[in-house]
A and B are shown apart, each in its own frame.
Chain A
């Protein structure tokens, strides 16, 4: 298309925080009707740029032009009124209210001060239909999946103001088909001339939806590219600013196809829990990595929770080291050398207000029992060792975990479990929502641990990751373990996808 004038131009944006230059002379432009991806590792300045745009932060230098006029918003609300709406990673709506209300609350059609419900419902239905969503506008939002909720959030955002739509990691909690659904909506908006600024960690999604991208690194602008003209590999190189050498160590492929043999650490026979996961068989050996593949909600986490005693199995048997056990609680699993790092980093994982040190010693302390505190010197020594080993940044044991980036929080979580020297480590989506570099480090760590004889169960929605790390891949579908694949030459992402799709396709 002939380039029209951009709807949004940011020039020479500079923003500093005490001791840090978060943005250093960044330029950015956004055209109507385009989907523009903002790319960069954690800490590259993406969030800061968005917050500058939406008025959460002021700028030290630089100018923001919206439709040619300089603007400086006092906050998201003012930005929204001027035409810049944001949809965040977490659905910022009220689950208890109806879909229609979530779209219109605060702007309801009224007569004599009273809300006109029927009119509001009709308007909401019309809007949703225009976006291609068949949703009952009068049903409570909580009856719909996260994906639909996210789209309702988008509907609200574009209805409030439809010039610039900022999507801040909207897909990080969605599975592939849900993300695809969301993209359908985005494309419609794009066709309507809305300018979409899209932030995500999923490279595939960028290539699926974005026309153009701007890459930031360490607060500086690296460049603006057309998606079609920059390969995925080059993009990663651009983002991390070094060759993929770091990744190369693990990238080429699968670990030794030879899965370790011998006495299994853990063995499940027809283990299951009604409504959570159908009975399954599974055995895992020392030094083995088992990947769990499947869509979100396919039962991956449920399976893991049974092995960790977080949920109780109501059928089947579980053996640890050949001896039959009943896991009644995570404590009893921990006592047998099982560790589980949850996918919900924020709610079930790190405790934000505690320091890095306190977070790390938590599991060890729990394993010892509260009556025997871990001596401070031991704590410092252990924590220091893991800070270095996992390259946790900043390496300050007394910093509240809240202040760390997502990737580093994940490492703290891993450290917490590693410190208990588990023999079986279950990690659930350890790399979700963290940047490429940290991702590679966590993957390498898992490979090292299994090399050292630890058994690992690795859960991830990213097939490449599962393929790269696992000796064996267990495929789940609809809360059932449907296949066990030895990760040999015959296995690739395609085949796993087919297995996952399986019954649904035929």
Chain B
């Protein structure tokens, strides 16, 4: 904690006047601003190079195609803010789609299936959170176990893709909210935005949210300050579990199928989005807004590749890899200055 070799902290001795930070952005905002700048740059490049890129619908489609990832990444943001990690999210998404499709196929009413599948993910999250907290298991290990478990169960249920023909599901999948001719979003985008707003509100304005940040800053201190560390830590994994199953529901709208091999590697996309969105992997610093930008960066990369047409999909991965490196280095630089 005590680093005497750190560069001298601004006001030393005396009764210091508040440090002036007139126009320099808050250090905590730097990574988010960097992501925003990157996003704008990518967009401008896209518009400059490709016909039709400036079409509003191109942007909206990023939302349509990534709503489920956004929801999952929001849950991941909670976890990473406490300094944890949740590797199970992709598998929970797959499990959710499989369970939903199986039950719907068996003729269960969607009004029952929907809450049930949401409960599945939430319960898994609660379980992993409890294991992590009460048995002091590394989040990496506990959620890795959860990942195998969820993926395994969905394979056990059905190894094949199960089509969904349920009325409510197809309605949600096909319903478009139109703003004008050829300009629309899907219902999933609305759900995702609601999740984002709720999460932002919870993180900024509730004791639970602030405790999440406190745990990420210094968990021991949080405990000594009398904060409900147990409840909060278990809570973030529960939230992540809920968001994963909600993401799974959105994915099943998008795909209109349940498949145990859906969302392979989505946990890594979600983590990448959160980190590119400026949230510190060590916890304690970051914003849901950043995660939104992170997801948009990932989406925009894919869009650009689609427009480009000749590049292969692995270029997505290469670019994401480079960006991740860049952002982790940026985080290092920012925190080094901060400490």
Q: Write the residues of chain A forming the contact surface with B, with a CB cutoff of 8 angstroms.
A: 76-77, 80, 88, 90-97, 101, 105-106, 108, 110, 113-115, 117, 132-136, 139-140, 142-148, 156, 173, 177-178, 181, 275-276, 296-297, 301-302, 305, 343-344
Contact = CB atoms under 8 A, between A and B. Distances in A.
A140 B2 contact: no
B205 A114 contact: yes
18 contacts: A92-B224, A93-B218, A93-B225, A94-B221, A97-B214, A97-B217, A105-B207, A105-B210, A105-B227, A108-B207, A108-B210, A134-B17, A142-B338, A173-B2, A276-B5, A296-B4, A301-B5, A344-B4
A106 B229 CA distance: 11
B2 A92 contact: no
Contacts of A101: 210
A144 B11 CA distance: 7
Given A90-B2, A134-B17, A143-B19, A275 B7 contact: yes
Contact of B210 (A97, A132, A140, A178): A97
A133 B217 contact: no
Contact of B338 (A90, A140, A146, A156): A140
Contacts of B201: 114
Interface string B9-36: 1111111111101000001100000000
B217 A96 contact: yes
Contacts of B205: 114-115, 117
Contacts of B7: 275
A181 B13 contact: yes
A493 to B, nearest CB: 20
B307 to A, nearest CB: 40
Interface string B271-285: 000000000000011
A94 B214 contact: yes
B8 to A, nearest CB: 6
A277 to B, nearest CB: 11
A473 to B, nearest CB: 20
A274 to B, nearest CB: 12
Contact of B5 (A106, A135, A148, A302): A302
Given A115-B207, A178-B13, A80 B214 contact: no
A114 B218 contact: no
Given A90-B1, A94-B214, A113-B206, A145 B284 contact: no
B226 A94 contact: no
A301 B226 contact: no
A132 B226 contact: no
Interface in B319-339: 338-339
A106 B225 contact: yes
Contacts of B1: 90-91
A133 B284 contact: no
Contacts of B204: 115
A134 B213 contact: no
B260 interface: no
A94 B207 contact: no
Contacts of B211: 105-106
Interface of B: 1-2, 4-5, 7-19, 21, 27-28, 201, 204-207, 210-211, 213-214, 216-218, 220-222, 224-227, 284-285, 338-339
B221 A92 contact: yes
B4 A105 contact: no
B220 A92 contact: yes
Contacts of B21: 139
B19 A139 contact: yes
Contacts of A146: 2, 9
A94 B284 CA distance: 9
Nearest to B339: A142
Q: Which DSSP category, helix, strand, loop or mixed, fits chain B's interface?
A: loop
B197 to A, nearest CB: 13
A140 B27 contact: yes
B4 A96 contact: no
A106 B218 contact: no
A115 B19 CA distance: 25
Contacts of A276: 5
B140 to A, nearest CB: 21
Closest 3 CB pairs of A and B: A94-B217, A136-B18, A96-B217
A353 to B, nearest CB: 15
Given A96-B284, A144-B11, A134 B207 contact: no
A134 B16 CA distance: 6
A94 B213 contact: yes
Given A115-B205, A297-B4, A97 B224 contact: no
Contacts of B15: 132-134, 181
Nearest to B221: A92
A494 B6 CA distance: 29
Contacts of B12: 145, 178, 297
Given A113-B206, A114-B205, A140-B28, A148 B16 contact: yes
A405 B140 CA distance: 34
A196 to B, nearest CB: 19
Contacts of B11: 144-145, 148
B218 A94 contact: yes
Contacts of B8: 297
B325 to A, nearest CB: 23
A286 B21 CA distance: 51
A325 B226 CA distance: 53
Contacts of A80: 226
A145 B12 CA distance: 7
B159 to A, nearest CB: 45
Nearest to A78: B226
B2 A344 contact: yes
A139 B18 contact: yes
A105 B225 contact: yes
Contact of B13 (A76, A142, A177, A344): A177
Contact of B213 (A97, A114, A132, A181): A97
Contacts of A343: 4
B72 to A, nearest CB: 24
A167 to B, nearest CB: 15
Contacts of A105: 207, 210-211, 214, 225, 227
Nearest to A276: B5
Contacts of B19: 136, 139, 143
Contacts of A181: 13-15
A106 B19 CA distance: 27
A127 to B, nearest CB: 15
A142 B204 CA distance: 19
Contacts of A106: 207, 211, 225-227
A173 B221 CA distance: 18
B16 A93 contact: no
A61 B5 CA distance: 46
A181 B21 CA distance: 24
A31 to B, nearest CB: 27
Contacts of B13: 147, 177-178, 181
A95 B217 contact: yes
Residue among B10, B216, B218 with most chain A CB within 10 A: B218
B230 to A, nearest CB: 13
Given A90-B2, A297-B4, A135 B16 contact: yes
A29 to B, nearest CB: 26
Nearest to A141: B217
B211 to A, nearest CB: 7
